[in-house]
Amino acid sequence: MVSDRDVARRVAIACIVIALGWLSWKIYDVILQVFAACLVSLALHALAEPFAKWTRFPERYAVIPVGILVFGGLGLALYLFGSTIQVQVTQLVNELPTAWSAFEQRFHLEGMSDDLLKRAEAAAPSGETVLSFVQGFTSNLFQVVLGTFLVVVGGIYFAVSPELYRRMFLSLWRPSERPAAARRLAMVSEDLRHFLKAQLIAMVVVGVLTFIGLTVVGVPSSLALALFAGLAEFVPMIGPVMAAAPAVLIALTMGADTGLWTLLVFVGVQQAESNIITPLLQQRMVSLPPAVTLFAVVAFGSIFGALGVVLATPLTVVAFAAFKAHSEQVAEEDAAA
């Protein structure tokens, strides 16, 4: 028979679990930023491994010069190509309204933009549309900059002292459960590192191929569009479509042939990425079914917003890796029994 003390203990545990769940939901954006910082830390360690072997530095200390080289290289690239990219991005932003107007005229959709704007204004409170938009844009921009800074700095801290945070994480388990939790954590970390390596290579290849293709076709702002395509490659399925839309829209203003060739460039790059690059890279990484990847992006985006869309694939990789680690542990226990 269950005593009153056991009932009270179970009720207290249930209340604690509910309270932790409610708190986690309230700070889910912070939890996602911590996860993104862990991705930065894993990426730095993945780059520090060959550097440590080449220089014979301890891997822990090799993270520091690698971080300086990575972020210094990004800063130098922005400095060298920043003016070119800025000009092309400005030109791209200026050309998009003209391209949209030409698109409306070509397909006899005149007035559609005005109708959408009128509906948006009608849905918003009177007199607050412009002010609310400016305030929302400024607030979102500040949050993006602050979030990026926290993710980068947090990733560096995680990378410098990984054992400290690993012990803190394992302390959440009972001593008897910590070896199994440590094995699962190691397997998940390894799969995430392989995923990040493969994703970085795919992003670079897609960006380079897109730049070459758009330059050959003669589409303006090819460097900015290729940079956008490479970054959008981190979000599967949806990212490539979003990257292709502005390029095709601008190309249509130059003629139907240019628009068709631009579309073929993006289709060809994605076919090469899907059938050649990704199969080669996935030999050592978690292979996610396309349907699972697509619905994971939609699900995480619906729950967590834009940050959920960006982190949907690595979160799914973590879920698959944890499930695989659990399955292997169960198989080992069954074999031992």
In eight-state DSSP terms, residue 302 is H
Q: Do 98 and 253 contact (CB within 8 A), yes or no?
A: yes
d(Cα 39, Cα 312) in Å, to the nearest integer?
A: 13
Q: What's the Rg (C-alpha) of the chain?
A: 24
Query: Is there a contact between 33 and 158 (Cβ–Cβ < 8 Å)?
Result: no
End-to-end CA distance of the chain: 32
Query: How much is the pTM?
Result: 0.71
78-94 tens-digit pLDDT: 665 556 666 666 766 67
Most confidently predicted of 119-133, 246-260, 302-316 = 302-316
Report pLDDT digits (tens) over 149-204. 888 888 888 888 888 888 888 888 888 888 888 888 888 888 888 888 888 888 88
Q: In a 3-state reduction of DSSP, which class is residue 107?
A: coil
CB 135 within 8 A of CB 23: no
C-alpha distances in angstroms, 243 versus 213, 220, 225, 300? 14, 15, 7, 20
SS3 136: helix
Residue 216 binned pLDDT confidence (cut-offs 50, 70, 90) = very high
